[in-house]
Chains A and B, each alone.
Chain A
Amino acid sequence: MVERGRLSLRNLNVYYGRNQVLKNINLDIPKNSLTVIIGPSGCGKTTLLKCFNRLLDEIEEARVEGQVIVDDQNIYDPGVEVTLIRKKMGLLSQRPQVLPMSIYDNVAFGPRLLGQKDKSYLNPLVEKYLRLAGLWEEVKNRLNEPANRLSIGQQQRLCLARGLAVEPEIILGDEPTSALDPQSSRNVEAHLLSLKTNYTIVLVTHILRQAKRLADYVAFLYLGELIEFGPASEVLVSPRDPRTRAYITGEIS
């Protein structure tokens, strides 16, 4: 039996205008493990991820039905404070998006939103999360430089540190290595692996090998439907559904 996690989807339907992108998804993501969502492009992976922190709210024509339950609370309930939901999750996007400020300020952005101004509190915090993201040694002497001067691989790890600094329970990754070179990708992957004991990680990827390297659990999404979900060893090795098998053997992509 899969342990019930903090993140659950109940009868989730998402529409863009008249187009239904996610069809009746039910999913329980186990906590303190790494779940990978795979599927061909356009199958709704990113949309699914954006449901978790309600970034879908920013897409005009998007409409959500059903429940996304985080910590026993449906985050789509009216009256839910969306900024509080988002603070529970760190997000890594496809292209790292640093904020237009210094390296230090990027990491301190989240804590400062909570009203934290005290340098003696922020300094060790910034160091801690930069270390956790494996960036500290590279940037410790230039924390006040603009974040846009970092290489793209460093920027992605900065985004990781920034996301961790809001002390989330969940880390969401939307193909977080797709813009990175192989070396930086491995670096980010290694850090994700080291984080999964303390965080629930949900990763979207279209790279099967990456899924094999990282996943504890795998969800296969096809044309907006959740086809299969289970431990990586089962889904990736001996899938039950013919469509999953076809995807894994490369017949559909």
Chain B
Amino acid sequence: MDTAWEKAKFKRPKRKIIDSLFRLAAFSSAVLVVVILTLILMTILIRSLPALKLSMIIRTPGTGYYLGHEGGILNAIVGSLELISGATLIAFIIALPGVIYLNTYLKKNSPFSEAVRFSLDVLWGIPSIVYGVFGFLLMLAWHLRASLLAGMVTVALVELPILSRAMDETIRMVPSEIKEAAYSLGASRWQTAIRVILRQAFPGIITAVLIALGRGLGDAASVLFTAGYTDRLTTSLFQPVATLPLAIFFQLNSPYPEVQQRAYASAAILTFLILLISLVIRFFSRKLSRHKIK
């Protein structure tokens, strides 16, 4: 009768097999993601258990800490937080006006905005060690030592493209009707950006800050030459500063098992810190985003 239909019927078992295979593959890769994350977290946690004491987070390294004696990594926790807040602040202050300019003053897809976006994408892809080297050269030019300030500037450079592009994407999503509504009430571009667009894009901006923060917090290569390292708490922009990634790095290099365990404990603390920051910021962003137009 209908030959095409007959053929299709004939092919059906084969299609079914392909479909189940595809489904299996999709399911496996989804499971794999969760398994990998669990494995990483478990490994870090199990390895760090012997070293996870309160003293890890409330004390700085004592004498002989790197030989397995008493102490903690408070210097690196505080140092990382100092560094990251400064760096993110710098990156944010540079990124925000730029992103607003791209999205409200420039026409959509203008050559200049395309050039800026392309540059940001390339910057995003540059390995952070390159930023580290660049920061190091800046440092020499400004006659700075390895210090909190130099570290902040370098990490800000690492974060800048991430922060800009992520904010750019969320601000681009703001419906043009909302902008038109504000314009039609007599708002200037600047007023529209500050009073309307930023409010609408607020949750996305928070996410962008989080992504940048996480990247900066975990990056070792950019601070290796620029921030230095110290066993003391940093109280000035011009002193070297300890950071968690480098704390992990130095301790893992130690031949002493106690110190290596502390490296894992530091990794656990770093992971926990990122989780904590995410949760806190998400909590506030939800509270502040109730006005968003869906």
Once the chains bind, are A113 and B187 in contact (CB under 8 Å)? yes
List of A residues within 8 angstroms of B291 by Cβ: 100-102, 146-148
Residue of B nearest to A146 (CB): B291
Q: Which residues of A (68-124) have their CB < 8 Å from a CB of B?
A: 83-84, 86-87, 89-91, 93, 95, 97-102, 109-110, 113
Instruction: Report whether B107 and A60 are in contact in the complex, using a CB–CB cutoff of 8 Å.
Output: yes
Closest residue of chain B to A89 (Cβ to Cβ) is B184
Number of interface residues of B (CB under 8 A): 26
Contacts of B179 in A (CB 8 A): 58
Contact B292 A100, beta carbon cutoff 8 Å: yes
Closest A residue to B108 by beta carbon equals: A60
CB-based contact A97/B183 at 8 Å = no
Measured CA separation A99–B187 after assembly (Å)? 12
Min CB distance, B96 to chain A, in Å?
A: 18
Contacts of A91 in B (CB 8 A): 180-181, 184
Residue of chain B at shortest CB distance from A96: B181
Q: How far is the CA of A30 from the CA of B176 in the complex (A)?
A: 31
Contacting pair B178 A58 (CB below 8 A): no
* Distance between B144 CB and nearest chain A CB, rounded to angstroms: 43
From known contacts A100-B199, A146-B291, infer whether A55 and B180 are also in contact, taking CB-CB under 8 Å: yes
Q: Does B7 contact A (CB under 8 A)?
A: no
B186 touches A84 (CB 8 A): yes
B185 CB contact (under 8 Å) in A95, A100, A109, A146: A109
Q: Complex Cα distance A89/B188, Å?
A: 15
Q: Of all chain A residues, which has the CB nearest B175?
A: A97
| 11 CB < 8 A contacts A-B | A55-B184, A86-B186, A91-B181, A98-B181, A100-B293, A101-B291, A113-B186, A146-B290, A147-B291, A163-B185, A166-B185
7 closest Cβ pairs, A-B complex: A87-B186, A91-B184, A97-B181, A100-B200, A100-B291, A86-B186, A146-B291
Q: Is B286 part of the binding interface, using a Cβ–Cβ cutoff of 8 Å?
A: no
Contacts of A90 in B (CB 8 A): 184
Contact of A55 with B290 at beta-carbon distance under 8 Å, contacts A60-B107, A100-B178 already known: no
* A100 & B196 in contact (Cβ 8 Å cutoff): yes
* Contact call B180/A93, Cβ cutoff below 8 A: yes
Q: Is A154 an interface residue (CB 8 A)?
A: no
Q: Is A31 part of the contact surface with B, judged by Cβ < 8 Å?
A: no
Query: In the complex, which residues of chain A have a beta carbon less than 8 angstroms from the beta carbon of B188?
Result: 83
> Inside 8 A of A58's CB, which chain B residues have their CB?
176, 179-180, 183
Contact B183 A93 (CB under 8 A): no
Q: Check B69 for interface membership: any CB of A closer than 8 A.
A: no
B294 near A99: Cβ-Cβ < 8 Å: no
A18 to B264, CA, bound (A): 66
With a cutoff of 8 Å between Cβ atoms, the chain B residues found around residue A98 in the complex are: 181, 293
Interface string of B154-190 (1 = CB under 8 A from A): 0000000000000000000001111111111111100
Measured between beta carbons, the chain B residues less than 8 angstroms from A244 are: none
- Contacts from A to B (Cβ < 8 Å): 53, 55, 58, 60, 83-84, 86-87, 89-91, 93, 95, 97-102, 109-110, 113, 146-148, 159, 162-163, 166
0 or 1 for each of B261-294: is its CB under 8 Å from A? (1 = yes): 0000000000000000000000000000011111
Which chain A residue has the least Cβ–Cβ distance from B178? A97
A148/B292 contact (C-beta < 8 A), A95-B177, A101-B199, A109-B195 known: yes
Q: B177 touching A93 by the CB < 8 A rule? A: yes
Beyond the given pairs A55-B183, A86-B183, A109-B185, 4 more chain A to chain B contacts, judged by CB atoms under 8 angstroms and listed by A's residue number, are A58-B176, A83-B187, A86-B186, A100-B292
Q: Judge if B191 is at the interface, Cβ distance under 8 Å.
A: yes
Complex: chain B residue closest to A94, CB-CB: B177
Q: Which A residue's beta carbon lies closest to that of B181? A: A97
Contact indicator A113/B184 (Cβ below 8 Å): no
Bound Cα distance from A93 to B184, whole angstroms: 10
With A and B bound together, what is the CA distance between A109 and B179 in angstroms?
Answer: 13
Residues in A whose Cβ lies below 8 Å from that of B292: 100, 148
Give Cα distance in the complex from A109 to B181, angstroms. 11
Contacting A at CB under 8 A, from B36-56, are: none
CB-nearest residue of chain A to B176: A58
Within B5-40, the residues touching A (CB, 8 Å) are none
A93:B176 contact, CB within 8 angstroms: no
Q: Which of B73-115 contact A (CB under 8 A)?
A: 107-108
Min CB gap A142→B, angstroms: 13
Contacts of B178 in A (CB 8 A): 97, 99-100
Collect the chain B residues with CB atoms within 8 Å of residue A147's CB. Answer: 291
Please give, as numbers and ranges, the residues of chain B lying within 8 Å of A146 by CB-CB distance: 290-291
Known interface pairs A97-B177, A97-B178, A97-B180; A110-B186 also in contact (CB < 8 Å):
yes
Cα-based distance from A45 to B176 in the complex (angstroms): 19
Closest to A105 in B: B291
A86 touches B184 (CB 8 A): yes
CA distance A146 to B191 in the complex (A): 20
Task: Say yes or no: A166 contacts B177, CB within 8 Å.
Answer: no
| In the bound complex, CA of A206 to CA of B130 (Å) | 61
